[in-house]
């Protein structure tokens, strides 16, 4: 029997959206445990070096180098002064409208500290898995759903996904996926466990790809009639839940 999925509700209800993704991809409690175990046993001490590798790669292209080193300076009339004497650590200062100076390092979308926090959260390093029993075998485990929603909130808050061109988000995730896969298969885990672990991490990365890129999708074009609003919530706009005014 074909299960009904509300096409429009997928774009305005985050719980419904992630329940659908988790069920379709079959990412459950066992997958989350494999992700967490890998994070605790293998990945945790490697995170700083992984982030350094990502920074090195992204600064090897001018367009992503600018995003890494400067971020988005939000003041329209701000001017950025570069000291180009150091290729790896550009010293910058920003002159704001009021004449004050601010450090655009606070604007970094791919700031090292944020990436480290993100990877620790992604692999539940230092966190405890909460056991919440489902009322039915067919239902998504509530603890897994809460984990995915918390990750989404973190991404939307710290990575400013709407301001980042989607091509760079794809490049970032492709690189991150490649680096993590290498660590999985070079680890001392048994071969069967390596395979299961990577399958679970790969599922998670595709769900994360949705979190990062959904703010670039204009669902108004697909679901709204001329001069109308979304039939489910009355909202205009995209899959970005915050911009639609829908609580997560």
Domain spans, the chain: 7-71+106-127+137-223
Looking at CATH, the fold of the domain delimited by 7-71+106-127+137-223 is given as Globin-like (1.10.490)
Q: Which residue has the higher pLDDT, 233 or 218?
A: 218
Q: What Å distances lie between residue 220 and 149, 152, 223, CA to CA?
A: 23, 21, 5
Q: List the single range of 51-60, 107-116, 120-129, 233-242 with lowest mean pLDDT.
A: 233-242
In the chain, what percentage of residues exceed pLDDT 90?
Answer: 39
Band (98; pLDDT cuts 50, 70, 90): very low
**Residue found under tokens 């944020």:** 114
The pLDDT tens digits for 99-150 are 443 433 334 457 788 889 999 999 999 888 766 555 455 678 999 999 999 9
CA 122, distance to chain mean position in Å, is 9
The pLDDT tens digits for 159-195 are 766 677 788 888 888 999 999 999 999 999 999 999 9
Band (97; pLDDT cuts 50, 70, 90): very low
Residue 11 has a pLDDT of 79
Residue 155 has a pLDDT of 82
**DSSP bridge partners of 81:** 93
Residue 103 has a pLDDT of 38
């Amino acid at each position: 029997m074909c299960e009904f999925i509300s096409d429009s509700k997928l774009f305005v209800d985050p719980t419904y959206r992630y329940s659908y993704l988790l069920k379709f991809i079959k990412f459950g409690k066992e997958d989350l445990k494999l992700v967490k175990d890998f994070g605790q046993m293998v990945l945790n001490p490697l995170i700083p070096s992984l982030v350094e590798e990502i920074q090195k790669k992204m600064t090897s292209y001018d367009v992503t180098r600018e995003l890494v080193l400067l971020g988005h300076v939000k003041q329209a009339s701000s001017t950025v002064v570069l000291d180009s004497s150091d290729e790896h650590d550009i010293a910058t200062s920003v002159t704001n409208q009021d004449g004050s100076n601010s450090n655009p390092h606070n604007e970094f979308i791919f700031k090292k500290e944020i990436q480290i926090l993100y990877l620790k959260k992604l692999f539940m390093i230092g966190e405890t898995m909460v056991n919440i029993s489902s009322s039915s075998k067919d239902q998504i485990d509530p603890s897994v759903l809460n984990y995915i929603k918390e990750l989404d909130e973190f991404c939307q808050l710290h990575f400013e996904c709407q301001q980042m061109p989607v091509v760079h988000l794809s490049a970032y995730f492709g690189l991150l996926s490649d680096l993590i896969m290498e660590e999985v298969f070079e680890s001392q885990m048994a071969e069967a466990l390596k395979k299961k672990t990577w399958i679970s991490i790969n599922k998670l990365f595709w769900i994360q790809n949705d979190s990062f890129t959904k703010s670039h999708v204009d669902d108004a074009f697909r679901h709204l009639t001329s001069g109308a609003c979304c039939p489910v919530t009355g909202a205009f706009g995209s899959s970005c839940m915050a911009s639609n005014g829908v609580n997560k």
